[in-house]
Amino acid sequence: MPNHNIKVVIDTNVWISGLVFGGIPRIILQQFIDKKINIIISEEIITELHRTITRKFPLFQANMELLELSIRKDATLVPLGSLTVKISRDHDDNKVIETAVIGNVDYIISGDDDLLSITQYRNIQIIKPAEFLNISNSYFH
In a domain, 32, yes or no: yes
Q: Is residue 2 part of a domain?
A: no
Quick count: other Cβ atoms within 10 Å of Cβ 62?
8
Q: Is residue 122 part of a domain?
A: yes
Give a yes or no: residue 1 inside a domain.
no
Distance of alpha carbon 14 from alpha carbon 21, whole angstroms: 10
User: What percentage of the chain carries pLDDT values higher than 70?
Assistant: 96
Q: Is residue 109 part of a domain?
A: yes
How does pLDDT run across 52-104, given as a tens digit for each residue? Answer: 999 999 999 999 999 999 999 999 999 988 878 888 888 888 999 999 999 99
State the CATH number of the domain containing residue 59.
Answer: 3.40.50.1010
CA-to-CA dists, residue 141 to 30, 41, 51, angstroms: 16, 26, 36
Domains of the chain: total: 1
Range of 81's domain? 7-140
Q: pLDDT (tens digit, 9 = 90+) per residue, 8-19?
A: 999 999 999 999
